[in-house]
Amino acid sequence: MRSSSPAVPQGCRRVLPTLAGAVVLCAAGLTVLAPPAHAAASTCTVNGTAVTGTAINGTLGNDTVVCTGGIAAGTTVDLGGGSDTLTVTAPSGVPGNAGTINAGSKLGLAATTTITVTGGSGAAGNTGIIQAASTLLATTATRITVTGGDTTTGTAGAGNTGTIRSAGPLLGNPGTWNVQVTGGTSTGGDGGAGNTGTIRFTATTASYAAGPVSVTGGRGEGNDFASGGDGNTATIVNRGPVTANGGSGRGGGGWGSNSDGTIQATASVSARGGDGDSAGEGQGGVGAPGSGGTIGPVPGTSDALTVEVTGGDGGVGEPAGDGGIGANSATITAHVFHATGGFSAEGANGPSIYETRVTGTPLNDTFTLHTLDPGIPNTGTIDGLAGTNTCIPTTPPPGVTYTNCN
């Protein structure tokens, strides 16, 4: 971004940056203090009135805020009190939000805030910070929808490359939330990833903290090599359920949560690989793995986490695409675990697990491998730790080792 610092006068040169600005030395021997650079301003309408600046604020009441040029780096939009609606779009190639969005302090209000951010063509939805409301009431809700920009050439925009987070508890209560992040669709290349940044929703009072997080990769189409975007490639920590789905693609689906991904959740995690698209006389796309990386409960919360991983289905073609692996080189901790390989009508089904370690909890756990006839063998270990645990099938498939099971 081009600096907004004022030009140095003729015959002078900039010699030292300072907190207040920059010292410049002139031929006459005088020094002058240039004003500091300013963050880029943004323009939005607040309840129908245009506002331009680096601080755009809502009121204590219900507000409608619309920003059609994106939110620039260095700009903060604070929605204040009340039930507010913020809609952000951006021109081609420009992220929807590169600054900071604060859903506001709702105090004792039973408010619902809706934030919708979409990147310009080929650009990410969020590269900055989006922060949910802080509140005194569990009935206060923040709904956040972030989408990467679609494109007709190349790779579509990711949904989130920045940070989406809870505000931190106000008297122990950040309210409830619903977060949906989706990569853009490309009709001439790969789909955008869902989340490549950080999504973190935590609270000190678990009974006041609830809400799902969903990340989905975008669809890749337009040629036989285009792949769907991965659902998650980075970090998700959520006091609530998490869903991670890969996008579908002609060349193959995207991972639900790839080998670099970390998911910590309460209640449940579902990770599904994207399907390989059908291609007529061409080769069908390969189904993607449901999960790699690490999945487990949020530290300090209940161990009763249900994890379901599913490989994407292979596309129909000549030859057909193979089904995806349920969990590929993953490390998973779960109370209830289900793994299913992707289906292929004419190719090979994917295995439930491949080079994956699944560990139980101090509870009585259940582990189920649903695909027992894969094209490549199931491989990995399942360790129930303590308790009376159940493994299905009762006899481990070739390549799989049971410990503390049945």
Q: Report CA dihedral (130, 170, 104, 144) to the nearest 10 degrees.
A: 40
Same domain, 31 and 66: no
Higher pLDDT, 199 or 174: 199
- pLDDT > 70? residue 181: yes
Same domain, 200 and 148: yes
Q: What pLDDT score does 25 carry? A: 40
Give whole-number Cα distances, 243 to 43, 136, 266, 290, 334, in Å: 34, 28, 12, 11, 15
Q: What pLDDT score does 325 carry? A: 93
Domain membership of residue 31 (yes or no) is: yes
Same domain, 118 and 140: yes
Same domain, 260 and 341: yes
DSSP bridge partners of 356: 380
Determine how β-strand 85-88 pairs with β-strand 112-118.
parallel
Q: What pLDDT score does 316 carry? A: 80
Domain membership of residue 225 (yes or no) is: no
Q: What pLDDT score does 137 carry? A: 60
Q: What pLDDT score does 378 carry? A: 94
- pLDDT > 80? residue 22: no
Encode pLDDT of 167-177 as tens digits: 765 444 557 88
DSSP bridge partners of 231: none
Query: Residue 62 and residue 60: Cα distance in Å, rounded?
Result: 7
Q: Per-residue DSSP letters for 287-314?
A: PPPSEEEEEEEPTTS-S--EEEEEPPPP
Query: Residue 303 and residue 26: Cα distance in Å, rounded?
Result: 68
The most confident of 66-80, 203-217, 243-257, 266-280, by mean pLDDT: 66-80
Query: Residue 195 and residue 191: Cα distance in Å, rounded?
Result: 12
Query: Residue 308 and residue 253: Cα distance in Å, rounded?
Result: 18
Buried b (16+ CB within 10 A) or exposed e, 317-350: beebbbbbbbbbbbbbbbbbbbbbbbbbeebbbb
Q: Is the dihedral of CA 381, 387, 390, 395 positive or negative?
A: positive
Nearest to 309 by CA among 322, 296, 321: 296
Nearest to 221 by CA among 148, 154, 127: 154
Q: What pLDDT score does 283 carry? A: 53
First-residue to last-residue Cα distance in the chain: 61
- pLDDT > 50? residue 13: no
DSSP bridge partners of 72: none
Same domain, 250 and 117: no
| Structural tokens at position 206 | 């678990």
- pLDDT > 90? residue 27: no
Q: What pLDDT score does 320 carry? A: 79
Q: What pLDDT score does 62 carry? A: 93
Mean pLDDT of the chain: 85
Same domain, 33 and 47: no
Same domain, 154 and 46: yes
Query: Residue 374 and residue 343: Cα distance in Å, rounded?
Result: 9
Query: Residue 252 and residue 220: Cα distance in Å, rounded?
Result: 9
- pLDDT > 60? residue 374: yes
Q: What pLDDT score does 136 carry? A: 64
- pLDDT > 50? residue 384: yes
Q: Which domain covers residue 17, as residue numbers?
A: 9-38
Domain membership of residue 222 (yes or no) is: no
The last residue of one of the domains, among 142, 177, 211, is: 211
Q: What pLDDT score does 284 carry? A: 57
Determine how β-strand 327-333 pairs with β-strand 353-354.
parallel
Cis before 319? omega within 30: yes
Same domain, 47 and 163: yes
Task: Average the pLDDT over 326-339 and give the result.
Answer: 96
pLDDT band for position 24 (50/70/90)? very low
Domain membership of residue 49 (yes or no) is: yes
Give whole-number Cα distances, 377 to 348, 352, 353, 380, 400, in Å: 11, 9, 9, 10, 9
Task: Average the pLDDT over 45-58 and give the result.
Answer: 97
Same domain, 260 and 394: yes
Q: What pLDDT score does 15 carry? A: 37
Number of domains in the chain: 3
pLDDT band for position 33 (50/70/90)? very low
Query: Residue 349 and residue 342: Cα distance in Å, rounded?
Result: 6
Higher pLDDT, 223 or 169: 223
Q: What pLDDT score does 286 carry? A: 66
Q: Per-residue DSSP letters for 41-74?
A: PEEEEETTEEEEESEEE--SS--EEEESS-B-TT
Query: Using alpha carbons only, what angle is made at residue 215 by residues 45 and 209, rounded to the nearest 5 degrees?
Result: 80
Q: What pLDDT score does 319 carry? A: 77
- pLDDT > 80? residue 303: no
Tell me phi and psi for residue 387, to 5 degrees.
80, 180
Q: What pLDDT score does 224 carry? A: 75
| Structural tokens at position 10 | 């003729």
Higher pLDDT, 193 or 374: 193
Same domain, 251 and 351: yes
pLDDT band for position 44 (50/70/90)? very high
The most confident of 112-126, 162-176, 275-289, 291-305, by mean pLDDT: 112-126
Determine how β-strand 129-131 pairs with β-strand 49-53.
unpaired
Q: What pLDDT score does 56 carry? A: 97
Domain membership of residue 314 (yes or no) is: yes
Task: Average the pLDDT over 210-226 and give the result.
Answer: 89
Task: Average the pLDDT over 192-220 and give the result.
Answer: 84
